[in-house]
Amino acid sequence: MKEEEVVRAATDIPGRCWPVELAFLHQLALMAPPGLPMIELGTFQGRTAAMLCAVAQETGSEVITIDNYVHDGAFTGHYKALDNDPDYGKRPQEYAELTRKNLTSLGFEARVVIGDSSIVPEGIEEIGFLFIDSEHTAYRFKRECDAWLPLMVTGGILACHDYEQPQWTEMTPAINERIRSKPEQWEYLGLVNWLVGFRKLQEASMAEQDKKEDPKSKKPQLPDIQVKDGMVIGAPSMGIWVVQAGKRRSVVDVRNQIALGIGMHHVVMLHPEQLEAVPEGEPMPRRR
């Protein structure tokens, strides 16, 4: 299934991720090393798991999604379920079966685990992708990171939901402290709504770090890229643009993105300085 088709199908499954976040999650998953397990912490009914399964079919990975199915109040008990959830009150086993049913209806398959998101199931030694969307507390996030991040290979992708989300005030400082404040270990890939992505870098030794120049004083060597009309270009955290008449026109509406068939495999990713070198034109009109 194409990205836009999976996004449309996944939004029929109850959940809290917006279509534009689902598309970004799909793009992040495509960047993960192929063939390694893709882990999701916080399943609900499988909306975001569907996006991972679509990628796993292409990359030969296995999707493992973990939830104890006690709604959002998994460990604290004070969060309510979705107001429009017709299945509120089901037992964990019933929720897990509902998740499998939702995924199967789209032609997908995942290992659905009922359990603690900070406990690694037996047999998992390495992972290439981790999506954290469970309890939305700093305590749980720390425990999940302690358990799962040591298993992530270099080049692996970490996605976290509810970053800069005002309802879940603990997540942003927790992610900043553990991940975003360490650019030598994690490359920031961008933020769409409240979904943020990072790539794990090779950790250098302390001696190697001491030898490195201050990254702020070293100008990056940028490859020459010829920008042509009709090209779709983008840069991390700067969105995507369509080049017309030598200018870049921003795509501000997810419906425009779907109509144009824009996915990560269609976008020429540039350094922010390269993107800014292309004059900015008027935004593309919204599609109705």
Which of 200, 210, 192 shows the shortest CA–CA distance to 150? Answer: 200
The residue with greater pLDDT, 162 or 204, is 162
If you average pLDDT over residues 93-105, what whole number do you get? 92
With a cut of 60, say whether residue 208 has pLDDT above it: no
Per the model's pLDDT, the better-predicted residue between 17 and 120 turns out to be 120
Beta-strand pair 111-114/127-132: unpaired
> Span 159-166, mean pLDDT?
93
Do 168 and 244 reside in the same domain of the chain?
no
> Does residue 264 fall inside a structural domain?
yes
pLDDT score at 235? 76
Q: What is the CATH number of the domain that holds 143?
A: 3.40.50.150
Q: Looking at residue 283, what is its pLDDT?
A: 82
Q: Can you tell me the mean pLDDT for 100-106?
A: 96
Residue burial 147-171, b: 16+ Cβ < 10 Å; e: rest = ebbebbeeebbbbbbbbeeeebeeb
Full residue range of the structural domain in which residue 251 is found: 232-276
- Return the HEC string of the chain: CCHHHHHHHHCCCCCCCCHHHHHHHHHHHHCCCCCCCEEEECCCCCHHHHHHHHHHHHHCCCEEEEECCCCCCCCCCCCCCCCCCCCCCCCHHHHHHHHHHHHHCCCCCCEEEECCCCCCCCCCCCEEEEEECCCCCHHHHHHHHHHHHHHEEEEEEEEEECCCCCCCCCHHHHHHHHHHCCCCCEEEEEEECCEEEEEECCCCCHHHHHHCCCCCCCCCCCCCCCCCCCCEEECCCCCEEEEECCEEEECCCHHHHHHHCCCHHHCEECCHHHHHCCCECCCCCCCC
CB 3 within 8 A of CB 23: yes
In the structure encoding, which two tokens stand for residue 238, read together? 């700067």
Sign of CA dihedral 166, 171, 174, 176: negative
Domain annotation covers residue 219: no
How high is the pLDDT of residue 158?
98
Of the pLDDT bands very low, low, confident and very high (cuts 50, 70, 90), residue 205 is: very low
Please, which pLDDT band fits residue 72 given cuts at 50, 70 and 90?
very low
Confidence of residue 203 (pLDDT cuts 50, 70, 90): low
What's the whole-number average pLDDT of the chain? 83
For residues 102 and 15, state if they share a domain: yes
What pLDDT is attached to residue 150? 96
Beta carbons within 8 Å of 83's beta carbon, 6+ residues apart: none
pLDDT confidence bin for 226, thresholds 50/70/90: confident
User: Which residue, chain included where needed, has tokens 């991390």?
Assistant: 236
Q: Do 184 and 247 belong together in one domain?
A: no
Percent of the chain at pLDDT exceeding 70 = 78
Same domain, 130 and 236: no
Whether 104 shows a pLDDT value over 60: the answer reads: yes
Q: Tell me: the pLDDT tens digits for 51-62?
A: 999 999 999 999
Predicted confidence at residue 80, as pLDDT, reads: 42
Output the pLDDT for position 231.
84
More confident: 265 or 159: 159
Total domains, the chain: 2
Residues 85 and 196 in one domain: yes
Q: How far apart are CA 236 and CA 113, in angstroms?
A: 33
Report pLDDT for 159: 98
Considering the domain architecture, whether residues 192 and 236 belong to the same structural domain is answered as no
- Say yes or no: 190 and 83 in one domain: yes
